[in-house]
Amino acid sequence: MTITTNNPWESDSLYAKALTYIQQMEKNIAEDWQYGLWSSLALELLARSALSNISPVLLADAKNWRNISFALGNAPTAKKFNPISISTKEVLARLTELLPDFTEEMAGFCSKHTDDRNAELHTGEVIFGKTGTANWLPRFYQACETLLKSMGKTLDDLIDDSDHAESLIKSLTDVAAKSVKQDISAHSKAWSNKSDAEKQDAALQAKTWATRQFGHRVECPSCSSTSLLHGAPVGAVSTEIIDGDDEVIQRQSMLPSAFECIACGLKISGFSKLSACGLGDTFSAKTTYTAAEYFELYTEDELQEARNEVEASYEPDFNEY
């Protein structure tokens, strides 16, 4: 499969190069260092392709407007101009906000994988080939699948043995489910050994704590006490202007990323583990502004004074159903 395009920042151009690097990766056995190195190069290009698929302008370093013009496909208008794109970490940060399925957990893996590549290329440290693929290959394919999906593609379009890749992706869920169930079981056992008085005190403290913290209140899977989910924003923000109430309400979906219960001490990090124990559903973050605050009708000092006066009333609300 060959794709030709004039703009090197266009999605098809970046995808074609990612495909070439994947082919180089698959020429090596998984234990070879070249296998991991080519995978890291391909992954960055695939991430850039996914972001460019939304708009090539998102790749442009905004410090120079000529980068934006270049991203739009225009010829340079200045001598000795070298177009500059954003860093890989910024690419990943933008993808986590623009693609709901591309979680912070995936972005973290992608960032680590590209950091490993930099260490491999720019230091004397041996990174790839030093350890097996079990720690990174399933997450590599998971990230690729999500990025490809955003462009209307599948793993079949990128790699030869997509069935094997799918089996590795499924293993992530199995491992996460086994791990989180063990954690829940251990905390549940410790909770059952407490006296009734200790349980009541801990549950009351947890309820009070959860009420005062920012997060989405849920029932702990270990002890059933009030606990909190934290998440990262995904998707578009909806805005509603309430006539007559002098209020503007904004809502945004949040993808769970961490859980904490202070009653039994259970903590869970990562979307895959949260999803495996039934805590993976998105929730809504609601923020209420006065009309003057939203439309910036006053100075920043006046707004800050108003915020201080109504701080308790206008905290973000993560507990809408």
- Secondary structure (H, E, C), the chain: CCCCCCCCCCHHHHHHHHHHHHHHHCCCCCCCHHHHHHHHHHHHHHHHHHHHHHCHHHHECCCCHHHHHHHCCCCCCCCCCCCCECCHHHHHHHHHHHCCCCCHHHHHHHHHHHHHHHHHHHCCCCCCCCCCCCCCHHHHHHHHHHHHHHCCCCHHHCCCCHHHHHHHHHHHHHHHHHHHHHHHHHHHHHHHCCCHHHHHHHHHHHHHHHHHCCCEEEECCCCCCEEEEEEEEEEEEEEEEECCCCEEEEEEEEEEEEEECCCCCCEEECHHHHHHCCCCCCEEEEEEEEHHHHCCCCCHHHHHHHHHHCCCCCCCEEEEC
pLDDT at 2: 40
pTM value is 0.73
The pLDDT value recorded for residue 75 is 87
Q: Domain locations in the chain? A: 11-160, 194-320
Average confidence (pLDDT) per 10 residues, the chain, 321 residues: 64 96 90 90 98 97 93 88 94 95 94 94 88 84 97 95 88 85 95 96 95 89 95 82 82 88 95 86 84 74 70 61 47
